[in-house]
Amino acid sequence: MVSAPHEAMHRIFQEYPGLFTRLSDVLGLQLPPVASSEPLTVDLTENEPLERRVDTLLRIETQGDGPFLLVVEAQGKKDPGKTASWPYYVTYLNNKYRLPVLLLVICQDHATATWAARPLTIGLPQWPTVTTRPLVAGPHNMPVITDVAEARKDLALATLSAITHADNPDVDAILKTMSVALRDTPESIAEPLVELIAQGLGNRPAAQQWRNLVAVDLSFYTSPLSEEIRDEGRAEGRAQGRAQGRAQGRVEGRAQGRAQGRVEGCVEGQAKAVLFVLDRRGIGVTDTIREKITVCTDPELLQRWLGRALFATTAEEIFGE
């Protein structure tokens, strides 16, 4: 079954075809300047009932050496079947399009990356007829980007780096860097990157960290991930409202409880966000201040406190006018 990290590792090249130009520099591959790139069908099925599909296929136009085909394969684990399928992809595409073919494999762990980088040969040991040499990008050679300015220089490359380092012990710092880098980015650019990172993290513990960062640092975006986070808060609030409504009465209680639940869910989420930001910035919070934040029922006031929490040097500063 295709997983979300699998999709994110190759779909980023569909969204940002020019990413390969910068990635080739990172991987030490010397290419002439790329003029343009064009997505092609990923269906490699022949007339016989055997379906073959690559993850992503791009036609890359260069400024001096002509076009070539880029096959991007997302590999989550070792797969003996690729020993046969990868050489087939390369030879089939070369025969179909009469163009040079480059196979790029994206991995998220060192063992899979080492396995994927092995040359694949077809023929006799003393005389290989076909040799396929995948170009591999993974945690072993992708940069760890924890500098906001560096991330902003190339958001697509920084996103791919975050995905390939999903299991890195410093992934929290990597994700925090990305959330800050995307904070002032136009929504049309930031949204797909937010979603790709969420997909790339899959069900790892870091996925919840990214959800928290999106809820706070990127709370003004309306991406599906942001909406999902907000919906969770609304759902929790509605559940609380229904419980309180039943206690207050069958008729009036239901109506008031649902309305109150929606408000309380929103307020509770904002209060948690204020405390989360203060905690992540290492600012101490006394029990008195924590209680003042959690008992506040004014959404607009909590929103102002959240904005001040991003820059305050002490917890008391968020309450000042």
pLDDT at residue 59 tops 70: yes
Q: How far apart are CA 234 and CA 213, in angstroms?
A: 18
Q: How far apart are CA 234 and CA 239, in angstroms?
A: 9
β-pair type (34-39, 120-124):
unpaired
Q: How far apart are CA 292 and CA 278, in angstroms?
A: 14
Contact by Cβ (8 Å): 213, 176: yes
Between residues 198 and 48, which one has the greater pLDDT?
198
pLDDT digits (tens, 9 = 90+) for 92-132: 999 999 999 999 999 999 999 999 999 999 887 878 889 99
How many C-beta neighbours within 10 Å does residue 186 have? 8
pTM attached to this predicted model: 0.64
Mean pLDDT of the chain: 83
Instruction: State the residue for tokens 């003042």.
Output: 292
Segment among 41-50, 133-142, 306-315 with least mean pLDDT? 41-50
pLDDT digits (tens, 9 = 90+) for 175-222: 999 999 998 888 888 889 999 999 999 999 999 999 888 887 666 555
Report residue 232's pLDDT band, with 50, 70 and 90 as the boundaries: low
Q: How far apart are CA 11 and CA 142, in angstroms?
A: 17
- Structural domains of the chain, ranges and CATH numbers in brackets: 4-137 (3.40.1350), 148-203 (no CATH), 225-319 (no CATH)
β-pair type (56-62, 68-75):
antiparallel
Structure tokens given for 249: 């009465």
pLDDT at residue 17 tops 50: yes
pLDDT at residue 134 tops 80: yes
